[in-house]
Amino acid sequence: MRTTLRDVAELAQVSPKTVSNVVNGYIHVRKETRERVEQAIAELNYRPNLSARSLRQGRTGVIALAVPELDQPYFAELARHFVAAAAGHGLTVLVDQTEGARDRERLVIGGIRDQLIDGLVLSPLALTAADLDERTDATPMVLLGERIHHGPADHVVIDNVRAAREATEHLISLGRKRIGAIGSQKVAAGVTARLRLRGYQQALKSAGVSADKNLVASATRFHRADGAEAMELLLAQKPLPDAVFCFSDLLALGALRTLASHGIRVPDDIAVMGFDDIEDGRFSTPTLSTISPDKEQLAAQSIELLNAQLNGSAADRGPQEVYTNYELIARESTIGR
Amino acid sequence: MRTTLRDVAELAQVSPKTVSNVVNGYIHVRKETRERVEQAIAELNYRPNLSARSLRQGRTGVIALAVPELDQPYFAELARHFVAAAAGHGLTVLVDQTEGARDRERLVIGGIRDQLIDGLVLSPLALTAADLDERTDATPMVLLGERIHHGPADHVVIDNVRAAREATEHLISLGRKRIGAIGSQKVAAGVTARLRLRGYQQALKSAGVSADKNLVASATRFHRADGAEAMELLLAQKPLPDAVFCFSDLLALGALRTLASHGIRVPDDIAVMGFDDIEDGRFSTPTLSTISPDKEQLAAQSIELLNAQLNGSAADRGPQEVYTNYELIARESTIGR
DNA sequence: ATGAAAGCGCTAACAC
DNA sequence: GTGTTAGCGCTTTCAT
C-alpha cells in the first residue's frame, strides 16, 4: 500500500487537514506542528495522490500540446519552449501527435483527453471551420497558426502574408529577377501555405517583378524530401530561377540539397530563403536565410491565453487573436559571406 | 457542472453501475439497455472523469518520458516513436525536460510526478549510481542508454563500444590514417562519450593505426556548436587529420559546417562520420555517414519493459538489460558520390 | 444482467 | 491554529 495523508496524520498525531495544510504550504500552521508533519512525511516517504487531488479540485495541472509531428524541428523547438513555459506556471505538458490528420485533430478538440487535461494547445493542419463549429467540448483551447474560422477560439498567429512579403522583398532587394516559390498547397488545409503564397505574390507585384507560374512548386508536406523534389522541378525550368522562397526551413534545406547535387552555387546562382528559423539552418552549408518567429514568445502567449481561460478571466472577453513577433535573418544562402 | 455518470444513469433509467459497464465495454449488457445508455451518453455529451477513474483504479494510463532537450533531433525523433508506441498500449505520454541537469534528473526519479504517472522512461545524462541507489520511489522506471550502475533498474541500451569501433573501422577501411574524434567528455556524466571513445581507440589499436591524442577533441555538449568549435581545434593540428569520427550527428553537422567554411572538401580531404542518424544528416551537404540506432525498436522495447513492470510480470525477474539494434550507414561524408 | 453500498485519497467548508 | 464532516466521480464487491 502507498502511504496516504491519513497515515502521515496518524504518525504526526494531527488531523488529515493539518497534513494537507502543510503539504499545500498553508501559512497558519505552528512551526512545531509543521516540523512534526514534515518529519512524518519524510519518514513515510509520502507523496500526495494527484488523482485524488484533481478529483477534489476539478483541475489536473496538466495541459496538452497537440502538434502534427514531434520530430519536425519547428514543432520540437516549439514543444521545448512550451514545456518550459508551462513549468513556469506549475503546469505539466502532455504531448499528442496528430500526424496532421483531420480525424486525429478532431479527436483532440473533441475531448479525447478531456477530464485529464485542464487545457489544450493545438497546432492544426487539416481541421476545418465546420469541425470547430461542431465542437461541444468545453475544455479551454488555444489554436496555433492561422485563424481557421471566426468561432470562439483563441489564436496565436504570425502575420504570414507580411512575413512572406518581406522574405520575397529581401530577395528582390538583392537584385533577383526570377524568383520561385516552394510550398504551395492546393488542399483546403493549406491555409498557411496560401497566405505565404499571397505574400510572395504581393511582393513581386508591387516591385514590378514578373511572376512566372511555372516557378511556383507545390509541396504535399513541408519536409526536406518535398523541398528536394520541388527544387528538381524548378531546375527543369528555362531560364532557371535566380532565387527561391521556401515556405519552411525544411523545404529550403531539401532544396539546398538538390542544388548541391547539381553543382549549383548558392547564393551565386540561386539564392534561397526559408521560413521558421530552425537550428539546422544555422549550421547548414550554406547557412540559411529565414524568417524567424519568436518561438519563446509564441509559447508564452499561448500559455497566457490558456491560463486566462482557466482562471475564468476570459469570460466575457471574446475570442482573442494574438500576433507573435518575427524577424528576417539574412545568412549565407542569400547574401553569401 | 460537468455531466457525470450519475446523470447518464438517471436519463437512461439505469443504475450507475450499468453505465459504467457500458462505458468500459463490459460484455454482459442487454443490447437494448446498452443502446439506451449510449444514447443518453451522446445526448449529455458525457465524458468519464479520468481523475476519478484513476483514483479508483490506482492507475492513470499516463507515462512520463524525460529527456534532456526535446529539440535535439535525436530526442525529438525518439519522442515521436514513444508517443506512437505508447498510444498502441493505450498509454499517454507526458514529457519532461531535464536539460541534462543532475538535480532535475534526481527530481524525476524521485517521483516529482509520482501518482500522476504509472511509469517513467528516463534518458539520463548526469545521474550517478548513488542517485539511483538513493531512490525510494517505487514507480516503474526504464533507463535509456548506458547502464549507470548495477542496481535494480531496467535498461535499454545500444552497444556503444562496438558501434563506435565499427564506425572507426569504416574510416580505416577507406584508407584513412590520421583519424580524429570529436565528443570526448571528462566529466563523470559522460558515460556514453567514454564508451564511444573506447570503441574508437580499440579500432585504431587493432588496425595498427597510430592514435594521436591531439586528434581527440572534447565537447561539453553534443550540439552543432560544440562540433563546429571542436573541428576548429582539430584543424589547428599538423598534419591535418584525414578523417573524424564524431560521437553524435549534431557534432558532425557542426564539424561539416566548419570544414565548409575553411573550404576543406569532404570526404576528399577529410571524411566525417556521425552517430544517431537524425534526419538532418540525410539532407546535409554532404550527406552524413552515421551509426543508425533502431529508434522505433528502442521505443518499443522501453514500453515493453515498462508494461512488464506495470503488470507485475516483472516481479522476480531481476533487472533487465535490452540491446537495441543499429546499423552503419555510409553516405557521402565518407564514401563520396 | 443489473443494482446498492462502500470507498479510493484528497480538500472545501465550517466548527471550535 | 487545528479538527470534523462530507463528498468529488468513479469502480469494486456483493447481492439479486
Considering only A143-147, A163-167, A256-260, which range has the smallest mean pLDDT? A143-147
Using 50, 70 and 90 to split pLDDT, how confident is the model at A1? Answer: low
- Per-residue pLDDT band at A26 (split at 50, 70, 90): confident
Predicted local confidence at residue B16, as pLDDT: 87
Q: What is the pLDDT of residues B130-162, one digit of tens each?
A: 888 888 888 899 999 877 766 778 999 999 999
CB distance B95–A96 less than 8 Å? no
Asked if residues B94 and A94 have their Cβ atoms less than 8 Å apart, the reply is yes
Residues linked to residue A243 through DSSP beta bridges, in sequence order: A179, A271
Residue A317 has pLDDT above 90, yes or no: no
User: Which pLDDT belongs to residue B152?
Assistant: 75
Of B196, B187, B225, give the one whose Cα is nearest residue B293. B196
A266 falls in which pLDDT band (50, 70, 90)? very high
A201-214 confidence digits (pLDDT tens): 999 999 999 999 99
Model confidence at A259: pLDDT above 90 = yes
Average pLDDT, integer, range A2-17: 89
The DSSP call for residue B276 is: S
Which among B54, B79, B97 is the nearest to A51, CB-wise?
A: B54
Residue of chain A with shortest Cα separation from B262: A285
**Terminal alpha carbon distance of chain B:** 66
Is it the case that residue A115 has pLDDT exceeding 80?
A: no
Determine the pLDDT at residue A114: 65
Please report the pLDDT score of residue B311 as a whole number. Answer: 79
> Over chain A, what is the mean pLDDT?
92
Instruction: Kindly list the distances between the CA atom of residue B335 and the CA atoms of A101, A141, B243, in Å, as whole numbers in the listed order.
Output: 39, 50, 11
Pick out chain B residues at pLDDT < 50.
Answer: none
pLDDT for B84: 92
pLDDT at B26: 81
Give the whole-number percent of chain A exceeding pLDDT 70.
97
Query: Taking the C1' atom of D5, which residue's CA lies nearest?
Result: A17
Residue of chain B nearest A280, judged by CA positions: B280
For residue B312, what pLDDT is reported? Answer: 73
pTM of the model: 0.91
Cβ-based contacts of B225 with chain A (< 8 Å): 283
Residue A25 has pLDDT above 80, yes or no: yes
Report strand pairing: A290-293 vs A326-329: antiparallel
Taking alpha carbons only, the member of A83, A63, A77, A126 closest to residue B92 is A63
Pairs of CB atoms within 8 A across A/B? 141
State the average pLDDT over residues A129-154.
84
Using omega within 30 degrees of 0 as the cis cutoff, is the peptide bond preceding A241 cis? no
Residue A314 has pLDDT above 70, yes or no: no
Nucleotides of C under 7 A from a protein CB: 1-13
8 Å CB contact between A290 and A261: no
Residue A203 is predicted with a pLDDT of 98
pLDDT at position A294 over 70: yes
Establish whether the linkage from the previous residue to A152 is cis, with ω within 30° of 0.
no
CB contact under 8 A, A284 and B284: yes
Q: Which domains are seen in chain A, by residue range? A: 57-157+295-324 (3.40.50.2300), 160-293 (3.40.50.2300)
